């Protein structure tokens, strides 16, 4: 566990993306998603807890019929390194023969997003697409590619705009890197 207080974490962090940059990326994503899904009446699934801020902002810009649900699967449990995937909540809506759009905060290693996609397909989804606010630039190939990506971030631990640092700072309007 980190010995810094939440305030010290933020004071020592490096700004990666300012609020205006994030807002512009979400607007662009809303246009791309609208073009791809406006005639599909999709089930939009927020990946909790990190995806909640991104989902809330994006949903207000999607002007077509959709249903909203959520899934909660995590590997991090308020730590900076992911371990075993833990399922805390599965989607409640019937996904049979539906188009599903997963919304998550970050595509890091891709393990969690892939597992959620596979679970939705197992629950009967016809098509499962994904949109992430940020994708971490890694030197190796990931097991899944997001269909819609807002911004890239470097290979470091980032927080803000739904992503946490030791459980703190999901509520920030910008994205930072831990020092």
pLDDT tens, position by position, 89-138: 999 999 999 999 999 999 999 999 999 999 999 999 999 999 999 999 99
pTM of the complete model:
0.93
Bond prior to 175 in cis (omega within 30° of 0):
no
Spatial neighbors of 105 by CB under 8 A, at least 6 apart, are 47, 50, 51, 53, 54, 132, 133, 134, 161, 162, 163
- Given a contact cutoff of 8 angstroms between Cβ atoms, the answer to whether 117 and 143 are in contact is no
The CATH number assigned to the domain with range 6-177 reads 3.40.50.2020
Domain ranges of the chain: 6-177
Ranges of beta strands (E only) in the chain are 14-17, 43-48, 67-74, 86-89, 99-107, 127-136, 148-153, 158-159, 175-177
Categorize the per-residue pLDDT at 77 as very low, low, confident or very high, splitting at 50, 70 and 90. low
- Tens of pLDDT along 136-146? 999 999 999 99
């Amino acid at each position: 566990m980190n010995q810094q207080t939440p305030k010290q974490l933020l004071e020592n962090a490096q700004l990666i993306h300012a609020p205006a940059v994030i807002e512009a990326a979400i607007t662009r994503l809303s246009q791309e998603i609208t073009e791809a899904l406006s005639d599909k009446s999709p089930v939009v699934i927020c990946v909790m807890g990190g995806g909640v801020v991104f989902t809330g902002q994006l949903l207000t810009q999607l002007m077509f019929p959709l249903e909203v649900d959520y899934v909660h699967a995590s590997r991090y449990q308020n730590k900076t390194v992911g371990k075993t995937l833990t399922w805390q909540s599965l989607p409640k809506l019937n996904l049979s023969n539906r188009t599903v759009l997963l919304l998550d905060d970050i595509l890091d290693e891709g393990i969690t997003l892939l597992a959620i996609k596979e679970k939705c397909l197992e629950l009967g989804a016809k098509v499962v697409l994904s949109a992430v606010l940020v994708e971490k630039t890694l030197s190796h190939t990931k097991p899944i590619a997001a269909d819609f990506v807002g911004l890239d971030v470097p290979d470091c631990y980032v927080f803000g705009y739904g992503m946490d640092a030791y459980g703190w700072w999901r509520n920030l309007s910008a994205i930072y890197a831990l020092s």
